């Protein structure tokens, strides 16, 4: 039930983002990770790992994104790795997409919650966070 609900909501969010910005789910994932995890650039392998994609899938996707001017790849000086860098066009479209995604999440999920729902979710999140942090002790 949870998984189906999540997939339904997520699908609607992605659909709105794609319709309004032209970005696919994968495009947004790449750009968002480059901006948040790497301050604009990441090693290609780190990016693949963060997306749980194999190298081949990411490489093909990056080729399509490069053709659209959203990212560029360059060899690392220190070793045989590849650095993936967000371009100014990629950053601009990411900046355009973020509020679209936020509004869609609000519309399709948050606005559906009652005050009681939010209280229950908050309590559950706190309980699971506390349980998880005590496991690590």
The residues, any chain, with a CB within 8 Å of residue 50's CB and separated by 6 or more, are 33, 37, 42
Asked if 14 contacts 114 with a C-beta cutoff of 8 angstroms, the reply is no
pLDDT score at 110: 87
User: What parts of the chain have a pLDDT lower than 70?
Assistant: 132, 134-137
pLDDT score at 131: 74
Give the up-direction half-sphere exposure of residue 122: CA atoms within 13 A in the CB hemisphere.
Answer: 8
SS3 83: strand
This prediction has a pTM of 0.82
């Amino acid at each position: 039930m949870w998984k189906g609900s999540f997939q339904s909501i997520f699908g609607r969010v992605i659909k709105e983002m794609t319709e309004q910005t032209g970005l696919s789910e994968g495009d947004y994932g790449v750009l968002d990770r480059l901006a948040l995890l790497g301050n604009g650039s990441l090693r290609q392998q780190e990016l693949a790992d963060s997306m749980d994609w194999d190298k081949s899938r990411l490489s093909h996707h990056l080729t399509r994104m490069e053709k659209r001017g959203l990212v560029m790849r360059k060899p690392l000086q220190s070793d045989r790795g590849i650095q993936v860098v967000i371009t100014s066009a990629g950053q601009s479209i990411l900046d355009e997409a973020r509020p679209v995604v936020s509004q869609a999440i609000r519309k399709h999920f948050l606005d559906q919650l009652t005050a009681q729902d939010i209280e229950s979710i908050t309590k559950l999140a706190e309980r699971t966070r506390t349980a998880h942090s005590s496991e690590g002790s």
